[in-house]
Amino acid sequence: MKISRVSLGVVLAVLLVMVGLTAGLWLAFRPQPVFLEGEIEATEIDVAAKVSGRVEMVAVKLGQTVTRGELLYTLESPELQAKLIQAEGAKAAAGAMSRKADTGARVEEIRAAEQQWLRAKAAADLATVTFERVERLHRDGVVPRQRRDEAAAQARASTAAAASARAVFDMATAGARVEDRDAAAGIAAQAGGAVSEVEAYLAETRIKAPHAGEVGSLLIDTGEIAPAGFPVITLVDLDDVWVVFQIREDQLAGIGIGTELTGRVPALGDREVKFKVDYLAALGAFATWRATSASAGFDLKTFEIRARPVEATAGLRPGMSVIVPWGRR
């Protein structure tokens, strides 16, 4: 009886050991679940001014939601104000020159030129008549040839002077040349463009939101110098979010453009959200080494994929994790 009990205990012990070994081997070699872990990202808009200046006023706060066109901050730039005054002065001067070219000579100048022409014409007429008289007296032998030649020269000179005076009168009447008027108009247009340019720069001292979003970063305070082109405010568009996964190529099978993935978001109380893949990297970004046997191995490339929520999901913010079950291995 005692021997039977000992034999039974040994058998039970052996069975327990065998069950334990079997369970251990099963747990060690059973297929492990695979999870894809991604991170939420969103569109970010860096806001910067085209001009530098001292910050006069900041109209927003960190975390504030703004709409497109809403004022973010203003800059103070006395240099631009001075340039505007210079440009406006140059525009006024160029405009006056253009108007002068279009208007031509003043009425008084035209009248004076006309009187000069009439006086020269009268002198030429008198010189011509005098020459004709001297010419007749010369033919009759009363006046010597020298006197006749002097009268002829005086008549020609007076006629030329009258023609010159008439040309001055005609030029005063006609006004400036077409080329001069065009040149004056071009200078006026150039000056107007300079004013518009400075005004455009002045408009850039009032920085407005180029897109609706939430103020994600704010790197300026009132009184500081804001450099031109430096992004001092970042807006985050929480309506345009997606999840980014970095997936090894041995886990990539079955994933393509349009593939739907259901993942849970721990930050939202493990809420399940459905995503659709809309981007798959054409090239692997980096490699993860993994041995295929004790004596050989190869590098597994990692590919980036992006997936957007199928439906709008409130509460998704950049940096949140998304966990997607993806089979077993």
Q: Which domain holds residue 209?
A: 45-76+204-234
Residue 15 belongs to some domain of the structure: no
What CA–CA distances, in Å, run from 225 to 74, 75, 124, 181, 187? Answer: 11, 9, 77, 46, 36
Is 22 among the domain residues?
A: no
**DSSP per residue over 92-111, as a string?**
HHHHHHHHHHHH-S-HHHHH
* Residue percentage of the chain with pLDDT more than 90: 28
- Span 266-281, average pLDDT: 91
Same domain, 123 and 218: no
* Residue 1 domain-assigned (yes or no): no
User: Measuring CA to CA, which residue among 257, 255, 245, 262 is closest to residue 310?
Assistant: 262
Q: Which residues of 48-82 are buried (b: 16+ CB within 10 A; e: fewer)?
A: ebebebebeebebeeeeebeeeeebbbbebeebee
User: Would you state the pLDDT for residue 295?
Assistant: 47
d(CA 89, CA 82): 11
Instruction: Say if residue 255 is in the same domain as residue 308.
Output: yes
Residue range 217-244: mean pLDDT, rounded: 91
Q: pLDDT at position 216, please?
A: 92
pLDDT beyond 90 at 87 = no
Which residues neighbour 311 within 8 Å (Cβ) at sequence distance 6 or greater?
274
284 is a domain residue: yes
* 105 assigned to some structural domain: yes
Q: Judge if 220 and 189 occupy the same domain.
A: no
Q: How far apart are CA 204 and CA 48, in angstroms?
A: 10
Q: pLDDT tens-digit profile of 176-211?
A: 566 666 677 778 788 788 888 888 888 888 999 999
Do the domain assignments include residue 168?
Answer: yes
Using the predicted structure, report yes or no on whether residue 212 has a pLDDT greater than 80.
Answer: yes
CATH code at position 291: 2.40.30.170
Q: Are residues 113 and 128 both part of a single domain?
A: yes
Max avg pLDDT among 107-116, 140-149, 175-184: 140-149
Q: What angle in degrees, to the nearest 10, is found between the helix axes of 145-174 and 107-139?
A: 160
Residue 184 counted as domain residue: yes
Residue 246's nearest CA partner among 305, 289, 174 is 305
Q: What's the structural domain count of the chain?
A: 3
Residues 120 and 165 placed together within one structural domain of the fold: yes
* 243 shares a domain with 227: no
Higher pLDDT among residues 2 and 321, named by residue: 321
Q: pLDDT by residue (tens digit) across 41-55?
A: 999 999 999 888 899
CATH value at residue 212: 2.40.50.100
313 in the same domain as 290: yes
Same structural domain, 94 and 196 = yes
The predicted pLDDT at position 1 comes to 47
Residue 298's pLDDT is what? 60
Contact 232, 217 (CB under 8 A): no
